[in-house]
Amino acid sequence: MRRPTLDDVAALAGVSAKTVSNVLLERPHVAEATRDRVLSAVKTVGYRVNHAGRGLASGRSGRIAVVVPNLHQPYFAETAERLILELSARGFTSTLRIAPDEAAERDAILGRTTTDADAVIICPHFFVASFFGSSPPERPIVQLGGAPNGVVDTVVMGEREGFEAVTRHLLDTGRRRLALVWNSTSSGKPEGERYVGFTAAHAAHGLEPDPALMVSGSDWDRRASGYEAMTGLIRTGVDFDGVVAVNDAIAVGALRALVSHGIRVPEDVALTGFDDTDEAGFTVPPLTSVSPEREDMVSNAVDMLVERLDGLAAPARVRRTGAHLVPRASSAAPAPA
Amino acid sequence: MRRPTLDDVAALAGVSAKTVSNVLLERPHVAEATRDRVLSAVKTVGYRVNHAGRGLASGRSGRIAVVVPNLHQPYFAETAERLILELSARGFTSTLRIAPDEAAERDAILGRTTTDADAVIICPHFFVASFFGSSPPERPIVQLGGAPNGVVDTVVMGEREGFEAVTRHLLDTGRRRLALVWNSTSSGKPEGERYVGFTAAHAAHGLEPDPALMVSGSDWDRRASGYEAMTGLIRTGVDFDGVVAVNDAIAVGALRALVSHGIRVPEDVALTGFDDTDEAGFTVPPLTSVSPEREDMVSNAVDMLVERLDGLAAPARVRRTGAHLVPRASSAAPAPA
DNA sequence: CCTGCTATTGACAACGCTGAACGAAGGCTC
DNA sequence: GAGCCTTCGTTCAGCGTTGTCAATAGCAGG
């Protein structure tokens, strides 16, 4: 009835509890025969390790906190899913923390709400180096996406080249006046890697982005935000033939706004997103997007984390992963006039 | 440098470690003055509880496993999000387990992969009573959605009435030949609460569902599955003026299939989903759906779980939550001929 | 045959916390 | 004033595991 312990297994196998532990931890120097005997005893008594005991004795929990702003945004849900599966494949358990606002995110990073994890992987929304004050983080933290901050290891996804590719794609197919639907930033101006890519593509065509075509919604993560921003732009009456959205969710919101104002996609206006979420393939019309190399991002993040857990002491590292254009109908070239 | 322990706090506050523990656990019979002294000592030394130690001593982890088939399906992502936030608001930590197939789901339920949780909340895909063999579950399990199985507490969402409502909505607005796009079931035939609602609505109009209009994809959870099934139905050439999809994801897939065959929604065919996920409001046209009362579902599930953790021994209980129609443009009445 | 290695296993003491049980002090009732 | 209850705090013994280190055996080399 009582849940079996190491001692129960040890008694049955005729060895000490420590030996059973050594077998389970796959320590070297355990005789083949002993191992077999132990493992079969484990099976017969139905032993399962007690994580609390192990954690207390070893000083590690074997648990990684995965921190995302939310799960209703497909990008975060899909990323969290991959992270969790990858961590579990590598023998870690995980705990998913949802940090919808800056305070929650800081608390998660600083460990105030994630005391039971050995390390943290975060898809940051607000994260900046100043969260730490003067003292460095007390446990490994890896950032997935977001800008390198010199404090924690970071996986940079191909934001710049991805955005450049999608922007060039529109320019190459004859679009000339591209609107940019942005998430709001602290400065109120577009900024960061994606904007750099956007500008670079324009420059390659000898063009410059038109500030009158840049709009942002009130929130990064809501389709509603894209709808709202797009509607605002349409109301200004300004002319445009392409819309580059900062991510798929915003593109989906923008799409609704375009359609409900009688603007046809892609005939009148081309539309693109970013992230290549599941839903991008199923909008009407299907949405051109940019696919970050998710597998790469996730495995790089976990690699770096494991290295830190194994004791690596080195300045914050940056790994870059790629991104590629996924053209779909929403950006099909307009019929020649 | 060393992480502070109860003893450090106790020394500073001039009390025993046990008293500090009592304060932190909000035990009664601690004098106000003592509590204040302890709490301020906790702050000064920066104490944070060691979960391993607490877990070992108390025999509980304070952790609940949330088990879902995946996160790329918005319904599961949104539900998991609410569960995690609710659990955290009630002082539990959570661990999210992704169980994509039957074996993984069974392992999670039986605790083989969730040894570190006191209890389990599961959004089941396959779960049946036979998972347990003859012995009852060894810790509290609550099912969120899915059919009651007599073994674990279950929250039944308003599948029957929700489906009846949406079906009636279509019939009331003049649609007569309703296709049903189903997830595949083991029997290959539609079954369960949703189908009962579908049939009941027909009966109320003196009609009977036409078996020739029932199709299912290969998978519950992929938009692709809805696309595939819908395409199959269109190819048969059979006539229909409404499509009832078993959930939003399948409806989104069906929508793509309809549009790409030149069938207009809602002019030619009305379309409805189920779950009222975030994306339903942003398809083109916006998708009529049924909203389960998510808050209710989640709080009921956690309530039942907490009661079990508090020692309630009683036969498996069932709580029912409601569902209401959310009409949108995809099911607007056709213009009178 | 002794020395020094490696391979294998075990004894013991933590790890940080909480449950149980108990003691001291004060207040109430009759 | 005896008896009892309530409040508040302490002492003590583990919870189940792993790290450290010692013990033993076997074996190669001299």
Nearest CA distance, B161 vs chain A (angstrom): 26
Radius of gyration of chain B (CA): 25
Q: Check pLDDT > 70 for residue A135.
A: yes
In Å, what is the CA distance from A22 to each residue of A31, A50, A134, B56, B148?
11, 15, 41, 20, 43
For B302-327, the pLDDT digits (tens) are 999 999 998 898 999 999 999 999 99
Average pLDDT of the segment spanning A68-90: 95
- % of chain A surpassing 90 pLDDT: 80
HSE (side-chain half, CA atoms, 13 Å) at B74:
23
Protein-covered nucleotides of chain D (CB closer than 7 Å) are: 7-20
Q: Check pLDDT > 80 for residue B129.
A: no
pLDDT score for B333? 85
The crossing angle, in degrees rounded to 10, of helices A193-204 and A159-172 is 30
Average pLDDT of the segment spanning B183-196: 74
Task: Provide the CA A34 to C1' D22 distance, Å, integer.
Answer: 21
Say yes or no: A301 contacts chain B, CB-CB below 8 A: no
CA distance A218 to A27: 54
Q: Check pLDDT > 70 for residue A146.
A: yes
Instruction: Choose among A48, A80, A116: nearest Cβ to B51.
Output: A116
pLDDT score for A193? 86
Instruction: Choose among A94, A111, A223: nearest Cβ to B282.
Output: A223
Tell me the pairing of strands B153-156 and B318-320.
parallel
Average pLDDT of the segment spanning B8-23: 96
Q: Check pLDDT > 70 for residue A336.
A: no
Nearest CA distance, B186 vs chain A (angstrom): 26
Range of lowest pLDDT (A126-130, A148-152, B15-19): A126-130
pLDDT score for A186? 56
pLDDT score for B17? 96
Instruction: Choose among B96, B259, B281: nearest Cβ to A96.
Output: B96
Report whether the peptide linkage leading into residue B266 is cis, meaning its omega lies within 30 degrees of zero.
yes
Beta bridge partners of A319: A155
Q: What is the pTM of this model?
A: 0.93
For A16-36, the pLDDT digits (tens) are 999 999 999 999 889 999 999
Size (chain B), residues: 337
Say yes or no: A115 contacts chain B, CB-CB below 8 A: yes
Chain B residues 6 to 25 with C-beta below 7 Å from nucleic strand D: 15-19, 22
pLDDT score for A220? 59
Say yes or no: A227 contacts chain B, CB-CB below 8 A: yes
Instruction: Choose among A61, A72, A253: nearest Cβ to B52.
Output: A61
Closest CA to B80 of B90, B68, B91: B68
Q: Check pLDDT > 70 for residue B83.
A: yes
Per residue, the 3-state secondary structure of chain A, as one string, reads CCCCCHHHHHHHHCCCHHHHHHHHCCCCCCCHHHHHHHHHHHHHHCCCCCHHHHHHHHCCCCEEEEEECCCCCHHHHHHHHHHHHHHHHCCCEEEEEECCCHHHHHHHHHCCCCCCCCEEEECCCCCCHHHHCCCCCCCCEEEECCCCCCCCEEEECCHHHHHHHHHHHHHHCCCCCEEEEECCCCCCCCCCHHHHHHHHHHHHCCCCCCHHHEEECCCCCCHHHHHHHHHHHHHHCCCCCEEEECCHHHHHHHHHHHHHCCCCCCCCCEEECCCCCHHHHHCCCCCEEEEECHHHHHHHHHHHHHHHHCCCCCCCCEEECCEEEECCHHHCCCCCC
Closest CA to A258 of A289, A282, A279, A235: A235
pLDDT score for A253? 94
Say yes or no: A72 contacts chain B, CB-CB below 8 A: yes
For B146-173, the pLDDT digits (tens) are 889 899 999 999 999 999 999 999 999 9
Report whether the peptide linkage leading into residue B334 is cis, meaning its omega lies within 30 degrees of zero.
no
* B318-320 sheet: strands from edge to edge: B93-98, B63-68, B119-122, B141-144, B153-156, B318-320
Count of CB pairs separated by less than 8 Å, A with B: 131
Which domains does chain B show, CATH number per domain? 1-43 (1.10.260.40), 58-157+293-322 (3.40.50.2300), 159-291 (3.40.50.2300)
For A220-270, the pLDDT digits (tens) are 556 778 999 999 999 999 999 999 999 999 999 999 999 999 999 999 999
Token duo for residue A231: 């509607």
pLDDT score for B2? 85
CA distance A301 to A142: 6
Q: Kindly determine whether residue A284 and residue B286, on different chains, have CB atoms separated by under 8 Å.
A: no
Say yes or no: A50 contacts chain B, CB-CB below 8 A: yes
| Chain A residues inside the 8 Å CB shell of B50 | 56, 115
Q: Check pLDDT > 90 for residue B87.
A: yes
CA distance A81 to B323: 28
Say yes or no: A52 contacts chain B, CB-CB below 8 A: yes
Closest CA to B96 of A263, A88, A40, A119: A88
In Å, what is the CA distance from B55 to each residue of A56, A60, A131?
9, 14, 30
Average pLDDT of the segment spanning B93-103: 94
pLDDT score for B221? 58
Q: Check pLDDT > 60 for residue B238.
A: yes
Q: Which of B63, B84, B278 is best to mutate for the A interface (most A CBs within 10 A)?
A: B278
HSE (side-chain half, CA atoms, 13 Å) at B234:
20
Report the alpha-carbon angle A105-B22-A57, nearest 5. 70
- pLDDT category at A133 given cuts 50, 70, 90 is confident
Protein-covered nucleotides of chain C (CB closer than 7 Å) are: 7-20
Range of lowest pLDDT (A204-208, B9-13, B146-150, B267-271): B146-150
Q: Check pLDDT > 90 for residue A333.
A: no
Residues with CB under 7 A from strand C: A 14-19, 22, 28-31, 33-34, 56-57, 59; B 2-3, 5-7, 17-18, 21, 24-25, 47, 49-50, 52-54, 56-58
pLDDT score for A217? 78
Average pLDDT of the segment spanning A162-172: 97
